[in-house]
Structure 1
Amino acid sequence: MNYEKIRRDDNIINVTNIADDEDAIDLLELGISIIKYIKLIVLLCLVFGCSGFFGTKLLIAPTYTASTSIYLTPQISESGSLDYNSQMANSKLVTNAVNLLTQNNIMSEVAKDVGLESAESVKKLVSVSNESNTEIITISATTTDPKLSKNIANDTVSTFVKTMQKNLNVRNIEVVDKAKLSYVPSGPNVKKNTLLATLVGFVLGCGYAVLRFLFDNRLRTKEEAEKYLGIPVFCEIPEL
């Protein structure tokens, strides 16, 4: 009884090893099939890479970003010291300021000043961020016109400061750095688009090679015939 069990286990091991060998052979053949189409893969990589490069350069308009920063100085208590309550109040004010900067009343004023149609059109061009653990708020404007980007960023800050002083009597806002005119494009990312397009070409080329391998059922050599048919080959007809 123990002998039969050992024989069964040996058969299972042998079958498993044969299956593993066949899988290894299939992977090897797949790799060889991909190598056969290496010229096609390289060609697709070049075509897609050049398309991504020239498409980004010629078809996508460059964008320009202008940024300005404001600092909300903490309120000093009557004793001349900065207490915990003042710090917490200032932190809440920073959070509120980030949200208030893109409200419709401010964006509408900016739209009128820079000559845009509506507050929504300005809001799409403006981004507001707060550096972690600081009272510094950065306002950035990105458009296809560097002058317009600078004007939107600076006008957003000036309108916001005036509104806060007039409506909420908040006077602890200081402009750290005004937006400057820059003709260096901030986008689009030509290198990134070219790399992504090249990767698409590589994937398509490898995919084509894999599909050709999977759907190709032809037997080309004597060894393949013996392997897949399980019978010996006694003769071959040479190609003339």
Structure 2
Amino acid sequence: MQDKQSAPGEESPSVEPPTGARHPRWLTALLAAGALLAAALLGATGGLLLADAQDDGSAETPNAVDVGFAQDMTVHHLQGVTMASWVRDHSSDPAIRQLAFDIESGQTEQVGRMQGWLGLWSRASLPSGEHMGWMSDAGHAGHAQATPDDAGRPMPGMATTKELARLRSLSGAELDVYFLQLMIRHHQGGGPMMRAALDKAEMGEVRNLAEKMLTAQTAEIEAMTAMLTERGTKPLPAPL
């Protein structure tokens, strides 16, 4: 389990490494905007390369899985960036801050890439209907079975508004543990989308990105689980 649309009351992600003194708020915002612009430009550059391939007839045409994955994974990633940027700025544990920075910067770059593809394909940047409906085209179930605990989750693994508010209310070891628990579940919830894209996406670039995401987030889940064990606790129940 990287362009960000913050929910009301949430801070914009800062992107400087987790070292030293804090920058003024205006400089943090400027750095964040610059990083998101760089990510978008990277995605656009990739799009131009794809466009050249399409002009000579050598590229595939994106299918519903390509488009749906890019749109829904953008939404999923943006929440991951939101959580990671908050903890990167508020944790006092260097290991947690480094992990949060890595997740924040990596997923911001991936969002820029996916948004570049969607722009190239002349598709909306975000989904307009039900999340994960495209997964039926990939032979995977869409939404997990809803339960009372799932109320307010746009997609499996995502935190609810109440959970995000709790994260922002904590500090110290409690903040670190809850972040690890939420992020493990967040990564687990995105896994089925990555596997569906890896299986059924038409575009080689989409399959490649989904594979890289799955590999990286599997390793991060293992690392975060070990960090929880060191702190004498364990992950939340995995999403259905």
Relative to the length of structure 2, the TM-score reads 0.24
The structure with the greater share of residues assigned to strand is 1
Greater gyration radius: 1
Per chain length, whose mean CA-contact separation is higher, i.e. which structure has more relative contact order (CA < 8 Å, sep 6+)?
1
Relative to the length of structure 1, the TM-score reads 0.24
The structure with the greater share of residues assigned to helix is 2
